[in-house]
Amino acid sequence: MVKTVAYCHPLVPCEWIESHGLRSRWIVPRDAEASAGAGSLTGMCPYARAVVDSLASSDEPSLAVLTTACDQMRRGAGLLAEDRPDDVFLLHVPKTRGTPGSRAYYGDELRRLGRWLVAGGGNASTADRLAEIMARRAAARDAFRRGETPVETPSWCNPIAAALAAEMNANDSQGAALGLVGGPLRQRDLAVARWIRAAGGRIALDATCGGYRTLAGPIDPAAVARDPFEELVRIYFDHIPTIFERPGDRLYAWLAGQVAARQVRGLLCLRHVWCDLWHAALPRLKETAGVPILELDLGDEDHGGESRLRGRLEAMIESLSHPEPR
């Protein structure tokens, strides 16, 4: 039986997992709603707690890869490893970008992940197998960028982001164009799209973790033919702008460019409670994005927070649709 390797961070390459003869799956925490309260009570992000709960309670034999990009996920890896030390891998992702040392470190971590995958029941990766899988996944991502909805549940992005893209493609509203930025979406967070549509707006950009912003870059076929592993490092580590990297200029420049290209009039920063990274980034985002930004804390919708979130969202769309005269 082929084992499944579950993960939920864009810098974990699904192609690398699959080239070892294993199945990759982006985690959609099915217990997010039930875990929100418990996670908050223990001082843990509701999303991270839900991921841990889902992995701990899964009936499917699986391995899990979490990363050091988020302190909450690092903590979650430690909790899982207490009961399943051989089934959890913590991928150390360097925060520094733009240096040969940090790039080499990321490559070494992927090689360490590969050895762990073999020990967990996988096969050694080969250049030919990796190149073939990279070509297939790149074609799927290119189609997604063109606006095509994936036929199957994708392993190369957050499946909830794919569902959001389907809603975006089906919405021909002429309302105020908004962009989403922030952490990974849960199933329940699709309600934000419905609230936006009901208030007369539309989503023109998904820059959440696991969505359009964090897709691996297009491949260079010639580079894949020469060295598929080196090209894998490039399309992930060199291409994806993340909230935790330093310096953070790449993320802000990417977002400003997308806001201008897609004529986005306002941004919603979707931040799970306890996520300090996005909260700390807000002042810089407001300086560089060029449009108004509204922060929405996700996690207290079951405690009367939904009406508060909807009210703030409706007020923003109203202000964008009918700006005050100067």
Any domain includes 148: no
SS3 sequence, 211-263? CHHHCCCCCCHHHHHHCHHHHHHHHHHHCCCCCCCECCHHHHHHHHHHHHHCC
Q: What is the largest CA-CA distance in the chain?
A: 66
Helix (H, G, I), strand (E, B) or coil at 131: helix
Q: Given this model, what pLDDT does residue 261 score?
A: 97
Q: Given this model, what pLDDT does residue 309 score?
A: 87
pLDDT in tens, 236-278: 999 999 999 999 999 999 999 999 999 999 999 999 877 889 9
Nearest C-alpha neighbor of 204 from the set 113, 229, 212 = 212
In terms of C-beta density within 10 A (0-12 exposed, 13-18 middle, 19 or more buried), how is residue 149 classed?
Answer: middle
What is the domain range of residue 205?
A: 158-214+247-321
Strand 62-67 with 4-7, pairing: parallel
In terms of C-beta density within 10 A (0-12 exposed, 13-18 middle, 19 or more buried), how is residue 129 classed?
Answer: middle
> In the chain, how many domains are there?
2
Residue at which a domain ends, from 110, 130, 150: 130
Q: Given this model, what pLDDT does residue 37 score?
A: 43
- Say yes or no: 61 and 122 in one domain: yes
Supply the DSSP symbol for 148: P
Any domain includes 137: no
In terms of C-beta density within 10 A (0-12 exposed, 13-18 middle, 19 or more buried), how is residue 167 classed?
Answer: middle
Nearest C-alpha neighbor of 207 from the set 241, 173, 176 = 241
Nearest C-alpha neighbor of 215 from the set 129, 125, 128, 146 = 146
Q: Given this model, what pLDDT does residue 47 score?
A: 87
- Say yes or no: 30 and 78 in one domain: yes
Any domain includes 255: yes
Q: Given this model, what pLDDT does residue 31 score?
A: 47
- Say yes or no: 165 and 276 in one domain: yes
- Say yes or no: 174 and 280 in one domain: yes
Q: Which residues in the chain land under pLDDT 70?
A: 30-42, 61, 172, 299-305, 323-326
Q: Tell me if 190 sits within 8 A of 159, measured CB to CB.
A: no
- Say yes or no: 82 and 184 in one domain: no
